[in-house]
């Protein structure tokens, strides 16, 4: 149907609707719907069609009572019955209506009139009482339509799966969608029920319905074939049986016949992107932009900063990876939190993808977060484009808290980079010289040293053996106390949780998690890291899901100590997950 909204004001609208296409001599209805009671209605002059009747007015009222509040609405419909008299494309002008002394105008209606044809009839076999297979391929079929067939790699196309029919369909059976191999796909939201719309197909009128719309992003070059779409339909078919006196009263007999439909495959030619891509190009295609935000540019040491990179526009937004950013070495950084907000529609995929970084400055000073560059290919112009963020100058002052033990006191990470590559000073302390010709090898001193080193080796060996024995006992004790200490610390965390002391709660949970692993794996607390924890747990054949759950919980607790607002999940959820993961690890680390 050719429909469209009228001019809106004060929630009043007038909408005109009629079929998109009709045949010469066909009768059809033109409707004007107003959601108010007009004081007057003026229809347009209809000169291209023969007016059989109209305007025919109908009124409907509705009343709603919600929470004791009563609301009512009225809908007035003016109908005209028209007949097409000649071929061509015609426009019915807008109508006007006056409501509360204000004039409202409807949309215009475009109607195509084609040459008259014999309408499709219900298939019926010529002989036999049972339904026979009849060729209805010209009356009922499905197609896969694409808006383009020659594109660049990464450029989107819209694939529309459409049903065409001139028959009476009574139902549908199984369907098989193409797998769109070679494409990354995103569905476009469509109505759950099929909405039939009249269309002119090669001079014939079909009722058409969109079954599915998909956005396709090609991931390889060359010719890619979209496999056929398959659909089972049931159509009405008249049975041919001997006539009886009751046929004139009850009418003819019909049955539902299964008709499988298969669309033709569609070939898409995908070209590779042109040469000359900028340095750092990572496959972004479309019309994109990038910007950066930071919550504050002045802070104290160990005060968390929130830094965001936002990529927005139209293109393969969801496929864009986090950019490489050279943060200052004195900033402790965490993996970004990624949020994607996109809308899939007729114009492809539009929206934004946000990468949020948690930054913790460990030293005072003036620091710079440099510009971040996004390079992308623009299919419309066939050229590469570059978008750049602004840089930020961050002033960090020294806080009251002591610096973390992970950084050497008195040195920043910038200073430590220079050590080992600077000029070495001339040796100025006293040292001994030997006369030429007096060698050390073969002297008595050499044999004395050899004997002393051998005895020293034996002493070290004995001491090491005793230490290993003692360590084995210590490992056993630590292993046995690990679960008990973890339960004690979790009980302490539960107390803080009941008092809503979030910082103390997360610190207690973190101590329970790290202390348990340190005792079970017998590794020093200073050596505990993600890599050592992962390797240690893998030696005991702990499942990868449990390992990642443990590391995620440790990260959540660590981040919550500095930025509670950036923590996902409440204290209750973290507490329950911690008890569960320690119980799981206990099964493997006994």
Burial class (CB in 10 A: 0-12, 13-18, 19+), 502: middle
Q: Which CATH architecture has domain 471-588?
A: Up-down Bundle (1.20)
For residues 227-242, average pLDDT: 81
How many other CB atoms are found less than 10 A from the CB of residue 159?
A: 22
The whole-angstrom separation of Cα 466 and Cα 470 is 6
Q: How far is CA 76 from CA 72, 95, 100, 115, in A?
A: 14, 14, 15, 34
pLDDT tens-digit profile of 29-85?
A: 898 898 888 888 888 888 888 888 878 888 888 787 887 787 778 888 888 888 888
Q: Which residue has the higher pLDDT, 586 or 312?
A: 312
Is the pLDDT assigned to residue 243 strictly greater than 60? no
239 pLDDT more than 50: yes
For residue range 355-400, what is the model confidence (pLDDT) as tens digits? 999 999 988 999 999 999 999 999 999 999 999 999 999 999 987 7
* pLDDT the model gives residue 434: 58
The Cα–Cα gap between 108 and 15 comes to 9
Query: pLDDT class for 123, splitting at 50, 70, 90?
Result: low
DSSP label of 363: S
CA separation for the pair 438, 95 (Å, rounded) = 120
pLDDT at residue 269 is higher than 90: yes
Confidence of residue 427 (pLDDT cuts 50, 70, 90): low
Tokens of 249: 């009263």
The chain-wide mean pLDDT, for the chain, equals 81
Report which secondary-structure segment, H or E, holds 556: helix 544-560
Tokens of 80: 């005209």
Return residue ranges of the chain for CATH 1.20.120: 471-588
Strand partners, 42: 96
Burial (CB count within 10 angstroms: exposed 0-12, middle 13-18, buried 19+), residue 285: buried
The 3-class SS string of 292-356 reads EEECCCEEECCCCEEEEEEEEEEECHHHCCCCCCCCCCCEEECCCEEEEEEEEECCEEEEEEEEE
Dihedral pair phi/psi, residue 560, rounded to 5°: -65, -25
Report the range of poorest mean pLDDT among 112-126, 143-157, 416-430, 466-480. 416-430
Q: What is the CATH number of domain 140-240+249-271?
A: 2.60.40
3-state secondary structure of 360: strand
Q: Tell me where in the chain the CATH 2.60.40.10 domain(s) lie.
A: 2-114
Which helix or strand (DSSP H or E) is residue 144 part of? strand 140-146
* Pairing assessment for the beta strands 40-42 and 14-18 based on DSSP bridges: unpaired
User: Per DSSP, what are the bridge partners of residue 18?
Assistant: 2
| CATH pick for 2-114 out of 1.10.3720.10, 3.30.470.20, 2.40.340.10, 2.60.40.10 | 2.60.40.10
Residue-wise pLDDT for 528-566, tens only, equals 888 888 888 888 888 888 888 888 888 888 887 666 554
Percent helix, strand and coil across the chain, each to the nearest 5 = 25, 40, 35
Quick one: pLDDT at residue 420? 43
* CATH 2.60.40.740 residue window(s) in the chain: 289-397
Encode pLDDT of 126-165 as tens digits. Answer: 455 555 556 677 888 999 999 999 999 999 999 999 999 9
Whether residue 470 is predicted with pLDDT greater than 80 in this model: the reply is no
Query: What confidence category does residue 441 fall into, taking pLDDT thresholds of 50, 70 and 90?
Result: low
Q: Tokens standing for 137?
A: 């391929």
Beta bridge partners of 271: 152
Q: Cα separation of 373 and 376, whole Å?
A: 10
Q: Which fold has domain 289-397?
A: Immunoglobulin-like (2.60.40)
Cα angle 253, 255, 257; round to 5: 150
Q: What percent of the chain has pLDDT over 90?
A: 27
């Amino acid at each position: 149907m050719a429909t469209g909204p009228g001019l809106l004001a004060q929630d009043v609208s007038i909408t005109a609707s009629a079929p998109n296409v009709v045949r010469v001599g066909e009768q059809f209805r033109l409707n004007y719907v107003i959601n108010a009671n007009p004081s007057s209605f003026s229809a347009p002059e209809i000169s291209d069609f023969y007016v059989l009747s109209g305007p025919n007015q109908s009124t409907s009222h509705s009343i709603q009572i919600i929470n004791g509040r009563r609301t009512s609405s009225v809908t007035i419909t003016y109908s005209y019955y028209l007949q097409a008299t000649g071929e061509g494309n015609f426009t019915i002008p807008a109508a006007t209506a006056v409501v509360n002394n204000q004039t409202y105008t409807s949309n215009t209606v475009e109607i195509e009139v084609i040459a008259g044809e014999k309408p499709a009839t219900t298939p019926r076999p010529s002989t036999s009482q049972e339904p026979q297979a009849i060729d209805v391929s010209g009356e009922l079929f499905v197609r896969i339509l694409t808006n383009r067939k020659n594109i660049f790699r990464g450029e989107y196309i819209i694939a529309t799966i459409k049903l065409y029919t001139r028959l009476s369909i009574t139902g549908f059976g199984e369907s098989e969608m193409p797998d769109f191999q070679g494409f990354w796909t995103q569905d476009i939201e469509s109505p759950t029920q099929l909405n039939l719309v009249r269309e002119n197909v090669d001079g014939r009128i079909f009722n058409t319905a969109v079954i599915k719309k998909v956005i396709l992003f090609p991931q390889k070059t060359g010719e890619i074939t979209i496999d056929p779409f398959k659909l089972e339909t049931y159509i009405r078919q008249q049975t041919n049986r001997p006539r009886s006196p009751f046929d004139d009263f009850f009418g003819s007999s019909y049955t539902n016949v299964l008709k499988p439909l298969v669309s033709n495959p569609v070939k898409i030619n995908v070209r590779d992107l042109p040469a000359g891509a900028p340095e750092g190009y990572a496959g972004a295609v479309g019309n994109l932009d990038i910007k950066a935000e930071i919550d504050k540019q002045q802070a104290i040491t160990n005060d968390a900063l929130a830094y965001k990179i936002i990529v927005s526009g139209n293109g393969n937004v969801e496929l864009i990876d986090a950019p490489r950013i050279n943060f200052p070495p004195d900033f402790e950084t965490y993996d970004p939190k990624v949020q994607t907000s996109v809308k899939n529609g007729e114009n492809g995929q539009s929206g934004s993808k946000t990468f949020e970084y948690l930054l913790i400055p460990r030293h005072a000073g003036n620091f710079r977060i440099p510009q971040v560059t996004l390079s992308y290919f623009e299919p419309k112009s066939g050229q590469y484009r570059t978008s750049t963020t602004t840089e930020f100058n961050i002033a960090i002052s020294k806080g009251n808290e002591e610096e973390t033990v992970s950084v050497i006191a008195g040195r920043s990470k910038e200073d430590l980079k220079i050590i080992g590559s600077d000029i070495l000073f001339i040796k100025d302390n006293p040292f001994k010289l030997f006369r030429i010709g007096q060698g050390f090898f073969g002297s008595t001193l050499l044999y004395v040293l050899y004997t002393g080193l051998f005895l020293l080796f034996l002493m070290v060996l004995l001491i090491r053996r005793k230490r290993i024995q003692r360590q084995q006992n210590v490992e056993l004790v630590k292993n046995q106390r690990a679960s008990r200490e973890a339960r004690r610390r979790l009980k302490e965390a539960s107390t803080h949780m009941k008092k809503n002391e979030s910082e103390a709660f997360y610190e207690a949970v973190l101590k329970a998690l790290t202390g348990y692993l340190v005792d079970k794996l017998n590794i020093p607390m200073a050596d505990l890291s993600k890599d050592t924890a992962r390797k240690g747990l893998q030696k005991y054949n702990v499942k990868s899901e449990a390992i990642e759950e443990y590391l995620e919980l440790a990260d959540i607790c660590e981040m919550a100590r500095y930025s509670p607002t950036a923590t996902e999940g409440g204290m209750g959820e973290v507490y329950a997950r911690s008890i569960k993961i320690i119980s799981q690890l206990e099964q493997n680390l006994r």
